[in-house]
Every structure is written in C-alpha cells, then in structure tokens.
Amino acid sequence: MDRTERFYKIDQMIHERGVVSFVQLMDALEVSRATLKRDLEYMRSRLNAPIVWDRDANGYRFDSQHANQHAQYTLPGLWFNSGEVHALLTMQHLLSNLDPGGILNPHISPLLARLNGLLGTADNSAEEVRHRVMILGSAKRSLKLVHFERVGSALLHRKRLRLTYFARGSGETSEREVSPQRLVYYRDNWYLDAWCHLRNDLRNFAVDSIRRADILEQKARDISPRSMDQTLGPGYGIFSGKRVKWAKLRFSTERARWVSQESWHPEQRSETDSEGRYILLLPYADHRELIMDILKFGNDVEVLAPPDLRQRVASEARCLVDLYSR
C-alpha cells in the first residue's frame, strides 16, 4: 500500500482499538521499523495527528486533551482504485434509482448517506466525485417495478410464479408456471433464472419481458446451485445452456490491441499468430448474444469456427449490408 493508505490504516487501527503496539502496526502495514517511524512522525508534525506513546499500555493512542489544543487533524485525500470507485458509484446509482417514496426509503436513506460519506472522504465532495466520474449503462431497458417486486417476493418465499411472458426472439406471448431460482443483474438489465414447468427445464427470463406475474401457493421446486451453474453457467453471456460449442475468432492486428485486454469468458483461451492477429477461443451455448458482440467489430473480426456460427454471422452481415444499401 502507498503512504496515504498507511496513514488511513494507522488512523483506523488506533480509533478502533484505542491502543496499538508498534509491532501490530508493523505487521498490519507490512513495512520496516524505519518506515513506520517516519509515517508516525509525518502524521504528528505535518498532519497534526495527536498520536502519543502510552508507556503503561505499551502502545500508541490518541491524546484527546492534546488534540483540543492542536491544529485541526485531517488526513490527506484518499483516492480509490478502479474496483472500489466502480462499486461505490454503482451502489449509489442503484439505490438512487429505487422508488424514493416506497417502503424502502427509510432504509435506503442511511445507506445513501454512508455511501456519500465514503465518496466524500477525498479532498472533493461526493457530488464532485460523481460529476468527475461517470458510470454509464449500456442498452438499459425499462422495467415494470410491480413485476420485479412479485418476482423477488416469490423468489425469497420459495413460491411458484404464473407468468405471462413475451419472448422477443419469436415475438410470441405464452403462459408459464415457473419456480424462481435466482435474479441476475447483467449489462444493466434484470433476468430471472427459473425452472419452467411448461418446458420441464431451466430457463432464463428477461424481467422486463414479463407482462404479468402472479404468485402461486405451490411451493417452488429447488434446483441445486451446481445444476444451475452446469446448465446456465458454462456458455457465453446470459444465453447459456448445456450444449456448449467453442467459437474461434480472429481479430485484426489493429483491433487486437484492444481485444487482447478484454475478458469475454472466464474459460477463454487466446493466442497471437505470426502476423500479430489475436485469436480468441471461448465457449457458447446460444449464438444470439455472441453474434451481436461479433458484428460490432465489423471487418476487424473473422469467425474461424464452428461453421454454423460462421454462416450465421455472414448471413447477419449480408442483411445489414442490404438494409443500408437501400
């Protein structure tokens, strides 16, 4: 950790424990004796930290009486790493978008206050952080909250649902009785993994495509997490399944500089050929989402295998060419 992080760690440990020994600080910070001494001296002399050595307790503590006479003690601004700031802003965004007048508001307000406090621990306010750092959603669809609430209630109470569901792929509406298993938030949209009693198999449902949801009294069928992962986990993206194929994609030398740094799937494999082109292999069970992601690269990507995926991508590309040439 860098020096600023060490200052925060020292401050946190003394506040939480009251008295902290020199050895405990060294072990927690993973620094040498000399480095810790320099950190403590810097905090005292430059940051006005009222840290004193308590001989009787054999450790460092804050001197509350001395602190009242001292100049204001403030730590330097702490910046977050990419994962931390993304998590904080995403939580803040999700909570802010919940119904402000709903029954959760008394519980949400304290959480938002804590998040704002965390975001504002730097030299800038929470509002300044949100102004300077943006979390942008992609292809987010509108969601009927009443359906989401019923789905969530049935999920947690282990009840079955009767759904009126519109399948965008076929354009058909059907009646389904399902046993909800888990909710998945993926690419700014909500999906329900459930056992479909009509198809007698696990299925994935877009929550925004649910036209009606009624909670039934029948107990939901429980599917083990292992079976869920085996059926819905191995393929690419949200459209997964048991019959997994492997796609082999080749990206141009120019595009390779970007794609080689991307993670498309946890089990993906890759290599770079003699011409500097990036070859990516990844499992998929349903071609729909994979084709969408392939097409956005245009001439910079070629599908090498399997043949049926290559044909589907070529057909979609021809349709696009015909559409824009009219």
> Given 3.40.50.720, 1.10.443.10, 3.30.930.10, 1.10.10.10, which CATH number is that of 3-69?
1.10.10.10
What does the pLDDT read at residue 302?
A: 96
**Burial status of residue 313 (CB atoms within 10 A of its CB: 0-12, 13-18, 19 or more):** buried
Could you read off the pLDDT of 39-86 as tens digits, one per residue? Answer: 999 898 888 889 999 999 999 999 876 555 545 677 766 566 666 766
pLDDT for 289 beyond 80: yes
- Cα–Cα distance measured from residue 126 to residue 89, given in angstroms and rounded to the nearest whole number: 10
Arithmetic mean of pLDDT over the chain? 83
If one compares 174 and 74, the residue with the highest pLDDT of the two is 174
Across the range 141-167, mean pLDDT stands at 86
User: What CATH code is assigned to 145-226?
Assistant: 2.30.30.520
Phi, psi of 225 (to 5 degrees): -55, -35
User: Higher pLDDT residue, 322 or 12?
Assistant: 12
Give the per-residue pLDDT at 212: 93
What is the average pLDDT across 305-312?
Answer: 96
Q: Which residue did the predictor score with more confidence, 231 or 182?
A: 182
Would the CATH topology of 3-69 be identical to that of 145-226? no
Higher pLDDT, 246 or 128: 246
**Strands, sheet with 159-167, edge to edge from the N-terminal-most edge strand:** 201-206, 189-196, 172-186, 159-167, 210-219
pLDDT of residue 120: 60
CB 208 within 8 A of CB 144: yes
The more confident residue out of 317 and 72 is: 317
Residues in the chain: 326
List, for residues 115-153, the tens digit of each pLDDT value.
666 666 544 556 666 656 666 666 666 655 668 888 999
**Least confident span in 147-161, 200-214, 235-249, 283-297:** 235-249
> Has residue 252 got a pLDDT over 60?
yes
Check residue 195 and give its pLDDT: 96
What pLDDT, on a 0 to 100 scale, did the predictor assign at position 308? 95
CA 301/CA 264 separation, integer angstroms: 14
Residue 129 in contact with residue 119, Cβ under 8 Å? Answer: yes
Indicate the pTM of the whole model. Answer: 0.60
Domain boundaries, the chain: 3-69, 82-132, 145-226, 245-324
